[in-house]
Amino acid sequence: MKTGSTMYHYDQYDHQIVKERIAQYADQVRRRIADELTEEEFKPLRLQNGLYMQRHAYMLRVAVPYGMLSSDQMRMFAEIARKYDRGYGHFTTRQNIQYNWINLEDTPQILADLASVEMHAIQTSGNCIRNIT
């Protein structure tokens, strides 16, 4: 960028943390689908990964670190919207994007797709430090 600002890029630790979180979450989703976890037990686990339950479907909130996106990240947002939602997402006042028609069984793959472009849904919900409004 010519403005002097640079985008944040994952280092080796970020990649490892996100990879481990996705693997852990994929197992939690598997256990929920198999009824090994109740919704009450699963709720705090899904919220840690940006997944809310709405009346009609799950909603996934994705972080946009520092409010900056690369073209690859924007393309991934579009791909996720086309493949897993209804063709669109919503940018929030906290500089996140939300997908409102997500299937639970798709969420581990969505998180893996996001990780491939250095994106995640960690700390996008609940009582944690989040972007400003």
List, for residues 81-130, the tens digit of each pLDDT value. 999 999 999 999 888 999 999 999 999 999 999 999 999 998 787 666 66
Let me know if residue 121 belongs to a domain.
no
- 124 vs 18, which has greater pLDDT? 18
Residue 27 belongs to a domain with what CATH number? 3.90.480.20
What is the extent of the structural domain holding 52? 12-115
% of residues, the chain, pLDDT over 70: 90
Let me know if residue 123 belongs to a domain.
no
Query: Which helix or strand (DSSP H or E) is residue 97 part of?
Result: strand 97-102
Averaged pLDDT of the chain? 90
Q: Name the pLDDT band for 131 (thresholds 50, 70, 90).
A: low
Tokens for 72? 């690859």
Domain count across the chain:
1
Let me know if residue 46 belongs to a domain.
yes
CA distance 118 to 72: 10
Least confident of 55-59, 69-73, 102-106, 126-130: 126-130
Backbone angles phi, psi at 29, to 5 degrees: -65, -45
In angstroms, the Cα distances linking 83 to 37, 103, 109, 133 are: 27, 11, 11, 29
Let me know if residue 58 belongs to a domain.
yes
Whether the predicted pLDDT of 18 surpasses 80: yes
Let me know if residue 125 belongs to a domain.
no
- The pLDDT value given to residue 3: 54
Let me know if residue 127 belongs to a domain.
no
- The pLDDT value given to residue 57: 92
Question: Average pLDDT, stretch 57-71?
Answer: 91
Whether the predicted pLDDT of 66 surpasses 60: yes
